[in-house]
Structure 1
């Protein structure tokens, strides 16, 4: 049985008066945004970093109220709601979310959009001095009003502005909306940004987003606690949080030009430290949460599909293989491979062996290492044997260039993970997209720690240079505003087991 909705309706931690005064509250826990799941808290988050026009506030309120009627409410409920329909007509609103780029290829990307009602979606772009039309793709009630339009035929290393049309009419999108394809010139460097724990309040943090955009990454990896906050199996409220995300101007500015790749962690799965089928919930609840997720993002694919479940995936971005694991859906308390599940573990091993290099980014929503909080809710507590299998597979097969990225433990940290063979893995954990802290960021006992920061809005960044005989990757932890908090350059040879 799903948790009662009243458990979500908690009080606000930030008053409207405080917001009007421009306060940015801090505490021992770092940045404190509104925590509650009720409408008032969501409206405070909507207006946290910039005051939204009154029509936007009314529209979100109507969307929220439509989704609050039933824990299984979907965007078909929103499309049928008289108040939402009236506001969309008055404001000329044809889409509720996007465009959001994803699935980057050498010759294009896919454009995700959520419409206000079932509609025909097209994307137009000028290629070789000729305007091409991509689509149409129809958003439907079954797709939760989303449409994903592939844009292909672009040249590598180019920037192609695009326009989006709903039922034949052009919609308003950010002026800088464009698809930037990876260059096939080995002399060109490739930059990928990443991080976790934005939560709902970090989505619209202007300084952090502006700095990411300034770096012009080819893609952004976000792999845990991104947009939904502790909604358990209340699917209507999952969708309300995604609507909150999509109405943030800062979010739209980011995803219209930067392809995003995502996976979840505990807070956008069910709730804090939850996994598998949590107590008092069902497999149907788990599958429902997964379905909402797959319709709210723009990944290449999602785990084993609707039947098999999970949201893990593998793709290639420039010189990198990117493997994003799912440490929530399949997890059990006991048994072999209980952290990822047997099927995902088999997929992970096969995928690692198939990677072509020169670098591999491998993400986990929680920590790969056991340094922080004794490995709480992570590999070391649940499945150290499975982790050893993965590490040993990499060493035995001399798989080169593996970079571990992690999240969950608020703050930003980095570690070397020494191995009995003498080899060392490197783990980077910028769980700082929401400006929070958690456990102490440093500890004198952590002899292999690279850095530790807390209470800062910051993101991670990899810059790859494959023009040399021994390719390099430079990691930077960049604070909102542009200051580099930490920097480290590694050669592929250092990341290759001997």
Structure 2
């Protein structure tokens, strides 16, 4: 063999070895994380959307060995088969998913459900004929006040949506209606704003889609008092709501406490992906399709913020720039389409999800703890969780507040001790928290209560402030999550034995107004109660 021949042979052997290794890597099937159900099908979707649909099929075969009658597995298999051009197999997988209980809305709803390849085939065409003029997700009441409400829902295709609300009992001038068009560029979402509602009044409402009326017993809500007026109301709140089918009944448990509003304070659906935007849509669709959740949110005001697992990845930093990293704006736009909040940061020119609103005379001021958060590894000088624009807004809003109670809401705990030595909470931004608290003292801001989420348990904390009143913090963030965080001895009370949520009853009609915090388990047991009087916050 000549030297040249030996050289060609060596190259050929090396190329063959490289091809074998590459194929072996391509065929390697990841191991499903059965300890966290919410992650299993997200992994499959990530494989599909990153060019590994064949591997996803093999991955789902492993999943099906463990979860033999799982509708979500069959649905995700259909998405993989659509990607691979296997239309007949995809239709069969969809039929099986429906047989196993997958809601029809998962098949016909959402412009990012992964089933476009079979949308014009007989099965989905039939489903659209049967269900296409009903809300596929929602309705959900958002931005509820004493005089207005937003009805959020998603349609199967572009449609005309009308909402008509009537007082209960009927009264002259009690009928209010509004109409919008849904479009693909906003994922067929309707946000129908009902104005000129009567304060402290019960309404029922009908949703009409392309001429078909949709009524349900849970389509009713109660308006609050006029902004600034005293009143009584109950809110439920929490975070840590990954998709866990066996824990989705928590939404029924919340409904049983009869709250007037629901505050979802981050880690609401657990996305954890900044490169596959379809993952965001998928995680919202899963939750929005659950009958327990739909029943709850159709009849009370829903308000939300995000945290790391909805915005980016675990303990992430968005950074100070508006457009960098490039995934920030798309994530913001998807969040905006899937909620009906009072506001979204500084609008599209200064995106974010901070906002404020009054319920009666209680002022809720909610921050975005991720979009502009700076990274200690790359930041020179003081760190910021808020960024300059949001901080100016926050301090100005606090100073102008007329609330009997002023509730400052953060996605992560205000107290430094909630997460050990972690710098992900305000413990990593002590200078900025000190600045905010000093502002409260300097401007003699009274009546402040804190709320937060993030920790997979429910706590009451009391933050002492030398020379000023103590701040109580209501914290809860294990609505559905399987993963749990240890209880904290430094807290006034700390609970983690079961999934849980908080309720807060505000009564500002009392001579000494009160805020009563309760912790409830997923099974409806009340395990803690504490009342904060307004006179304690002077």
Give the TM-score normalised by structure 1.
0.83
- For the residue of structure 2 that corresponds to 1:200, the secondary structure is coil
Partner Cα distance (1:143, 1:65) in 2: 10
Q: 2:450 aligns to what? A: 404
Which residues of structure 1 form unaligned runs of 5+?
1-5, 15-31, 70-74
Matches within 5 A, 1:412-451: 412-421=458-467, 423-443=469-489, 446=490, 449-451=491-493
Partner Cα distance (1:68, 1:154) in 2: 36
Partner Cα distance (1:237, 1:363) in 2: 27
* Larger RCO, structure (CA 8 Å, separation 6 or more): 1
Please tell me whether the aligned partners of residues 230 and 361 of structure 2 are also in contact (alpha carbons under 8 angstroms).
no
Please tell me whether the aligned partners of residues 126 and 132 of structure 1 are also in contact (alpha carbons under 8 angstroms).
yes
Partner Cα distance (1:240, 1:199) in 2: 13
Q: 1:22 aligns to what? A: none
* Deviations 1:36-88 (CA, angstroms, capped at 9, x unpaired): 213668945999xxx9952862746646997376xxxxx9x699765655532
Is 1:378 aligned to residue 424 of structure 2? yes
- For the residue of structure 2 that corresponds to 1:95, the secondary structure is coil
Q: 1:150 aligns to what? A: 193
Q: 1:27 aligns to what? A: none
Q: 2:259 aligns to what? A: 217
Which residues of structure 2 form unaligned runs of 5+?
1-26, 46-59, 64-69, 76-95
Please tell me whether the aligned partners of residues 150 and 193 of structure 2 are also in contact (alpha carbons under 8 angstroms).
yes
Please tell me whether the aligned partners of residues 109 and 155 of structure 2 are also in contact (alpha carbons under 8 angstroms).
no
Q: Residue 520 of structure 2 is aligned with which of 473, 478, 491? A: 478
Q: 1:140 aligns to what? A: 183
Q: What displacement does 1:478 show?
A: 1.4
Partner Cα distance (1:455, 1:99) in 2: 33
Partner Cα distance (1:317, 1:8) in 2: 51
Partner Cα distance (1:475, 1:304) in 2: 31
Q: 1:25 aligns to what? A: none
Q: Structure 1's 68 and 9: CA in aligned 2 closer, same or farther, altered over 3 A?
A: farther
Is 1:357 aligned to residue 403 of structure 2? yes
Please tell me whether the aligned partners of residues 191 and 219 of structure 1 are also in contact (alpha carbons under 8 angstroms).
yes
Structure 1 moving runs of 4+ over 4 Å: 6-10, 39-47, 58-66, 77-86, 90-93, 184-188
Is 1:13 aligned to residue 34 of structure 2? yes
* Deviations 1:365-423 (CA, angstroms, capped at 9, x unpaired): 11111113335243444321110011111122221221111111211122111112253
Please tell me whether the aligned partners of residues 505 and 516 of structure 2 are also in contact (alpha carbons under 8 angstroms).
yes
Q: Structure 1's 56 and 440: CA in aligned 2 closer, same or farther, altered over 3 A?
A: closer
Q: Structure 1's 275 and 468: CA in aligned 2 closer, same or farther, altered over 3 A?
A: same
Root-mean-square deviation (CA, aligned residues, Å) is 3.3
Q: What displacement does 1:9 show?
A: 7.5
Is 1:283 aligned to residue 361 of structure 2? no
Q: Structure 1's 61 and 153: CA in aligned 2 closer, same or farther, altered over 3 A?
A: closer
Moved more, 462-471 or 51-60: 51-60
Q: What displacement does 1:224 show?
A: 0.5
Q: 1:338 aligns to what? A: 384
Q: What displacement does 1:171 show?
A: 2.9
Structure having the larger proportion of residues in helix: 2
Q: Residue 168 of structure 1 is aligned with which of 182, 197, 211? A: 211
Q: Structure 1's 461 and 258: CA in aligned 2 closer, same or farther, altered over 3 A?
A: same
Q: What displacement does 1:464 show?
A: 1.3
Q: Residue 150 of structure 2 is aligned with which of 100, 104, 110? A: 110
Q: Which has the larger radius of gyration?
A: 2
Q: 2:303 aligns to what? A: 261
Partner Cα distance (2:353, 2:118) in 1: 27
Q: Structure 1's 45 and 170: CA in aligned 2 closer, same or farther, altered over 3 A?
A: farther
- For the residue of structure 2 that corresponds to 1:239, the secondary structure is helix
Q: 1:389 aligns to what? A: 435
Q: Structure 1's 215 and 412: CA in aligned 2 closer, same or farther, altered over 3 A?
A: same
Q: Structure 1's 462 and 433: CA in aligned 2 closer, same or farther, altered over 3 A?
A: same
* Deviations 1:146-188 (CA, angstroms, capped at 9, x unpaired): 111112333222211111011111236x412112111469785
Q: Structure 1's 472 and 60: CA in aligned 2 closer, same or farther, altered over 3 A?
A: closer
Q: What displacement does 1:93 show?
A: 5.4
Is 1:124 aligned to residue 128 of structure 2? no
Give the TM-score normalised by structure 2.
0.77
Partner Cα distance (1:251, 1:420) in 2: 43
Q: Structure 1's 346 and 336: CA in aligned 2 closer, same or farther, altered over 3 A?
A: farther
Q: 1:316 aligns to what? A: 358
Q: Give the number of aligned pairs.
A: 458
Is 1:197 aligned to residue 218 of structure 2? no
Please tell me whether the aligned partners of residues 110 and 148 of structure 1 are also in contact (alpha carbons under 8 angstroms).
yes
- For the residue of structure 2 that corresponds to 1:467, the secondary structure is coil
Partner Cα distance (2:369, 2:404) in 1: 25
Q: What displacement does 1:237 show?
A: 1.5
* Deviations 1:21-48 (CA, angstroms, capped at 9, x unpaired): xxxxxxxxxxx5442213668945999x
Q: Structure 1's 429 and 43: CA in aligned 2 closer, same or farther, altered over 3 A?
A: farther
Matches within 5 A, 1:12-161: 12-13=33-34, 32-36=36-40, 37=42, 38=44, 43-44=71-72, 54=99, 57=102, 59=104, 62=107, 67=112, 84-92=124-132, 94-127=134-167, 128=171, 132=175, 134-161=177-204
Q: What displacement does 1:203 show?
A: 9.8
Partner Cα distance (2:147, 2:110) in 1: 41
